[in-house]
Amino acid sequence: MITSRASVSVRYAETDMMGVVYHGSYLPWLEIGRTQLLKEHGLPYRELEAGGFFLPVLEVGLRYLKPAKYDDTITVTTFLREKPALRIRMEYELHRGNDVLATAFTLHAFIDRAGKPVRPPAAFVAVMNQVFAGSVQ
């Protein structure tokens, strides 16, 4: 398993009139978490795209437990629990301090510039093999 942490500050534009974060505002935070995880492991999304590989979201699930509010600092913890093959499932926990505000997952697959499914690039496979070496699959 690999993890990554990123912090975001809740902007006023992400809230409703009561200062509570709008439910759709969580999705960009998940993107921040997953791009940070890839970058920390030598796989910046910009380089994947430059190589002609894209990771669209196929599915997303989000469970809201407590409201985030204007000016909160949110920690997005991203988990890649299993070595990805053709699909990549990332899981997330969003915290304010010790409070878990939400949990989520996203499911992705690699596609090429034409939008056709492809195998992950060799560099991605090499990093995942190294990171998950010795783990039970």
The enclosing domain of 113 has a CATH number of 3.10.129.10
Tell me what percent of the residues of the chain surpass a pLDDT of 90. Answer: 93
Question: Mind listing the pLDDT tens digit for each residue in 78-133?
Answer: 999 999 988 999 999 999 999 999 999 999 999 999 999 999 999 999 999 999 98
What is the per-residue pLDDT for 135? 56
What is the per-residue pLDDT for 137? 45
Is the confidence at residue 68, as pLDDT, over 60?
Answer: yes
Tell whether 137 is covered by a domain.
no
What is the per-residue pLDDT for 90? 98
Task: Tell me what the mean pLDDT of segment 47-55 comes to.
Answer: 95
Q: Are residues 10 and 70 in contact, defined by beta-carbon separation less than 8 angstroms?
A: yes
Lowest mean pLDDT among 1-10, 48-57, 84-93, 128-137: 128-137
Q: Are residues 125 and 83 in contact, defined by beta-carbon separation less than 8 angstroms?
A: no
What is the per-residue pLDDT for 73? 98
- The total number of structural domains in the chain stands at 1
Tell whether 136 is covered by a domain.
no
The span from the CA of 97 to the CA of 109, in Å, is: 32
Tell whether 67 is covered by a domain.
yes
List C-alpha distances in Å: 119 to 7, 44, 53, 85: 31, 17, 9, 8
Q: What is the pTM of this model?
A: 0.92
Tell whether 37 is covered by a domain.
yes
Tell whether 76 is covered by a domain.
yes
Tell whether 121 is covered by a domain.
yes
Could you please report the per-residue DSSP string of 88-113? Answer: EEEEEEEEETTEEEEEEEEEEE-B-T
Tell whether 115 is covered by a domain.
yes
What is the per-residue pLDDT for 120? 95
Tell whether 40 is covered by a domain.
yes
Joined tokens for residue 92: 């997330």
Task: Tell me what the mean pLDDT of segment 17-35 comes to.
Answer: 96
- Range of 63's domain? 2-131
